[in-house]
Amino acid sequence: MKFLFLFFFILMSLPGFCQEDFEVTEIRENPKPAAAPLVIPEIDSALELKKLGYDSINAKALTDKKVILLIKRILEESQLSEAPPDIVKGLILEKLKGSLLGNFLKATPRLLDLLVDIMRDKRALSGLIDIVLRREDLKSYIHFWIAFLIAAWLLKKATFRKEWGRLKTIGLGLCVSFIITGVSVTIFYNTFEKELEPTIEILSRHWNQA
């Protein structure tokens, strides 16, 4: 989940993401009737951001509820859902060209396809942004997660023995890690089930296609 938020915010911070990048050229090999051009909402994201006192989307800006609402508005009014998947995929790879994230997505086409589908689904995008807007619930979850990690570390420290063999230590360590991950994911999902539902549907669809 953190990866998805980071991914969307990186794209949002890049100039021209929501506006001029969706000029789709017609394919000449098999001439077809020209489709109606995408209507781009007249939102100057850079100008709107400056009105809120920020030059770019950074860590500080993402703590401002007004910036989050601006991001949500831009995503809701963008034409991502109407753009063909290949166009969105090409845009993502072009914006992230030469970066570690871009190279990773190139090497994992299934993950790239998943992100494209999420970005083209306005319900999924809106739900992910709504999680950030639920500040108190998100803060409570983070506090729980940190406390849970500390408790798990203390329990591991108190119960693991030096005389145990390496294989047993590694095995129990993996079990603890799986338990921490399982509990964390379950509580996060139960807390934000409504917001996550559209994204989970997309994940399930991709899982069934695998």
- pLDDT tens string 57-89: 777 777 788 888 888 887 777 777 788 889 888
Per-residue pLDDT band for 187 (boundaries 50, 70, 90) equals very high
Provide the pLDDT for residue 11: 53
Neighbour tally for 146: CB within 10 Å: 10
Domain ranges of the chain: 2-25+37-134, 137-190
For residues 90 and 97, what is the distance between their CA atoms, to the nearest angstrom? 10
Provide the pLDDT for residue 98: 86
Query: What rounded mean pLDDT belongs to the chain?
Result: 78
Provide the pLDDT for residue 25: 41
Provide the pLDDT for residue 144: 94
pLDDT at 21 > cutoff 80: no
Provide the pLDDT for residue 210: 63
Average pLDDT, integer, range 96-125: 89
Query: In this prediction, what percent of the chain has a pLDDT beyond 90?
Result: 25
pTM of the model: 0.68
Does residue 143 or residue 58 have the better pLDDT?
Answer: 143
Query: In terms of C-beta density within 10 A (0-12 exposed, 13-18 middle, 19 or more buried), how is residue 71 classed?
Result: buried
Contacts by 118-123, CB closer than 8 A, 24 or more apart: 118/4, 118/199, 118/202, 119/8, 119/80, 119/88, 119/92, 120/80, 120/81, 120/83, 120/85, 120/88, 121/81, 121/198, 121/199, 121/202, 122/75, 122/76, 122/80, 122/81, 123/198
Does residue 63 or residue 204 have the better pLDDT?
Answer: 204
Per-residue pLDDT band for 162 (boundaries 50, 70, 90) equals confident
Provide the pLDDT for residue 36: 45
pLDDT at 15 > cutoff 90: no
Residue pair 83/38 in contact by the 8 Å Cβ criterion: yes
Residue pair 1/200 in contact by the 8 Å Cβ criterion: no
pLDDT at 122 > cutoff 60: yes
